[in-house]
Structure 1
């Protein structure tokens, strides 16, 4: 009698509950399913409901092999989940018990957890599970985080995380230079009390990062070799993306994608469209919002602008955006949430006005699109430094003395960016390098196979 087939290896995947964290871990999950794994993908109840609503209009959004599960996040129905510090603080108490119970009941041997959820390493002891961490940020940011004790020792930061001496920090010649005033925690809009809590958490969890079986990074060796050298057990497998022909990544979206913009792009001239998107957290005030709109119109170019719900602070004025859309009809298109990877891959797109979140940065690099950089908070300033100072694939949008990025600045920088042949050449070079890294035999492809082999050691 033939032996029964071996069960497929099972992995739990645990992202921090924010859009920019869920998406790359969903894409990694699809790669694991491609290699025969079953994945239990854990959202919070709140985000699980959002994902299901976003998927309602999609077909085939979840691949066979990915099981969507959820647990409470410790906040009430009206809790402010944009308050990252408050959300983070409640997650361990709310989730550790249910996660351990699920691990035991399903006999899960591996958990891949977001670095921001590194408290899950406690389960390595209590539940006997092996833990790999996943960085949704650049390797440079992870290296900078691990370097915090030295920054305190050198007097650049005090023990509460406040910047006491502003100077340029560059841990390696291959890493982006960044002003101390623009390190991620200094740019999160945090109060001194929140900053102190965050710094305490960093200092507590930093040693745990080196205890992980591996640290998976959504990057590739050719662009971050200097930073990767400073991260223990780093395994770069990026750029992580869903196949362009697939809608499977929609399983991780918090808002429904408006795919009608793709047909609109089909009707535009090659290399003519400005694509504008600021991710899931950025909030522009009325002055910035209107200047951006006026700058796009002033440029005289076609544009596709993703304006998600709550993108502005609510004081732009009733009907203003509708009136703007009527005025630019035929030249510009405004959508709520775009299928960004497919947009960036479209031949009509000329450049990307971006907040420089790491996912957007990797996607733009992968598809050979130059950047107009407008960072908002956290690691985005470091990513801007990569784009402008290291890779040379974009330019900065600069605010005036009032702190406003004017319509004239937007128009002028669009013209500068699209007329710069050196930027165009570097964009093409890095696109080629990114594509080579994930092709068979490329550095990230080889590392993905290493990860697969590691996870098979049940």
Structure 2
């Protein structure tokens, strides 16, 4: 008897983690899985508020192959009131994600498993601290989705070596790190921001270390990267855990995401971009999560103004703080109005695909990094938090597809202007674009039918099927 396999997917409730989980859901559905997608009520409310024309009950409506009856969408509380400002109270939110949210997720999983007898796996973001225990409790496989670079995972998996060699607190060494398997060398400034801090006891550190312990117990880890882009680190990880590179996980060849996931209303900048010469516009965005200080923002703004380039700048309402939704200098917008468009949010894939875009001033989030490489846009790096410092190493040192915005802090407007001119200048842009073209071809080849990411995903499905059939003596049709 052939049965349709069922998977439960749980997204980590931030923009940069929801997006790849949604794409994985669509990919699993295309392979014949029935699905239950669990989202938080707060993220669902924000998505619906920002996308008023979409179905308010089911963000996947019309976007998934097969019957919508095979695709259930569930929302649960994260443990905080809907109106609570999570951005302004980050520690409270992280605490809720560790101690309150897991109970709500487990209750939802229990209901699904009871109603769906052919549930074979729980797919959860690797930054979950609860997933391995829930999967074990209900006798299903735990599939962990790693949404960052393989290099970041490799470093976390060998955190104990950093401690033993005193390259993280309470150690004081600042020399080159050359003992992590799969990594030739790292500077301490290449480590994730949390590993550069003196205090390793914060709620953020508790969450990260808890997640490492949890995903280390996963039956399978899927990764939003490409093995040819990070070959040595991929091999090093595969020597320790079952690791499948299946990226890049974003909709390709489309100007609009098939599933509404944007947490802010998107401005359409296409008409403005259409008026600008090819390669003349600098795209500026510091992502959906990290904050920047007002002093840094003002200095960057003045540097952009000084550079004289055309630019499109995304400044979300809590970029500095929810208490300061319009942090730019009062005169700035008026002074640059003839060569700039400043918006709260936009469709990044649409922007990066536009021929007017010549460079990307970025926080180096992983989604932004691979989306920029995919569209052949060189990067100017200003990391703010967590993995972004490690991604900067990949961008600047390993792939050579971008530059540092500032070599040392504090950031100064003169250096910002100089680096923008360097990025956007024709001769230097050509050298970067040669390197980024090579990286882009690696990504494109990986997602072809015979490409590594497609083959790895098929291998994962096959290995999951074998494991489930062995465990439950069932035959699944996938």
TM-score (norm. length: structure 2): 0.85
Distance 1:164 1:181, change over 3 A: farther
Per-residue CA distance 1:324-349 (angstroms, 9 max, x = gap): 33332231111111111121122111
Question: 1:406-417 alignment to 2 at 5 Å?
Answer: 406-417=412-423
1:21, distance to aligned residue in structure 2 (A)? 0.8
In structure 2, C-alpha distance between the alignment counterparts of 1:251 and 1:455, rounded to whole Å = 29
Question: 1:39-58 alignment to 2 at 5 Å?
Answer: 39-58=35-54
Per-residue CA distance 1:240-261 (angstroms, 9 max, x = gap): 1113426335522211222x21
Runs of at least 4 residues of structure 1 off by over 6 A? 188-191, 314-319
Task: Select the residue among 428, 432, 452 that pairs with 1:423.
Answer: 432
In structure 2, C-alpha distance between the alignment counterparts of 1:250 and 1:28, rounded to whole Å = 12
Distance 1:110 1:423, change over 3 A: same
Matched residue count = 445
Task: Select the residue among 111, 114, 118 that pairs with 1:101.
Answer: 111
In structure 2, C-alpha distance between the alignment counterparts of 1:188 and 1:38, rounded to whole Å = 43
In structure 2, C-alpha distance between the alignment counterparts of 1:222 and 1:319, rounded to whole Å = 41
Distance 1:366 1:318, change over 3 A: closer
Contact 2:190 2:392 in 1 (8 A): no
2:274 aligns with 266
Distance 1:121 1:214, change over 3 A: same
Per-residue CA distance 1:251-298 (angstroms, 9 max, x = gap): 22211222x212222222111110001111222222212222222222
Contact 2:194 2:205 in 1 (8 A): no
Does structure 1 residue 166 correspond to structure 2 residue 162? Answer: no
1:22, distance to aligned residue in structure 2 (A)? 0.7
In structure 1, C-alpha distance between the alignment counterparts of 2:325 and 2:14, rounded to whole Å = 28
1:338 aligns with 346
In structure 2, C-alpha distance between the alignment counterparts of 1:341 and 1:439, rounded to whole Å = 20
1:114, distance to aligned residue in structure 2 (A)? 0.6
Report which stretch shifted further, 380-389 or 25-34.
25-34
Question: 1:236-315 alignment to 2 at 5 Å?
Answer: 236-245=245-254, 247-258=256-267, 260-313=268-321
Unaligned segments of structure 2, at least 5 residues = 469-475
Q: Which SS does the other structure have where 1:219 is aligned? A: coil
In structure 1, C-alpha distance between the alignment counterparts of 2:464 and 2:257, rounded to whole Å = 23
Distance 1:321 1:79, change over 3 A: closer
Contact 2:284 2:311 in 1 (8 A): yes
Contact 2:318 2:324 in 1 (8 A): no
Distance 1:89 1:188, change over 3 A: farther
In structure 1, C-alpha distance between the alignment counterparts of 2:94 and 2:174, rounded to whole Å = 24
Unaligned segments of structure 1, at least 5 residues = none
TM-score (norm. length: structure 1): 0.88
Q: Which SS does the other structure have where 2:144 is aligned? A: strand
Question: 1:147-162 alignment to 2 at 5 Å?
Answer: 147-157=158-168, 162=170
Question: 1:64-79 alignment to 2 at 5 Å?
Answer: 64=64, 65=68, 66-77=71-82, 78=84
Contact 1:175 1:390 in 2 (8 A): no
2:472 aligns with none
Q: Which SS does the other structure have where 1:47 is aligned? A: helix
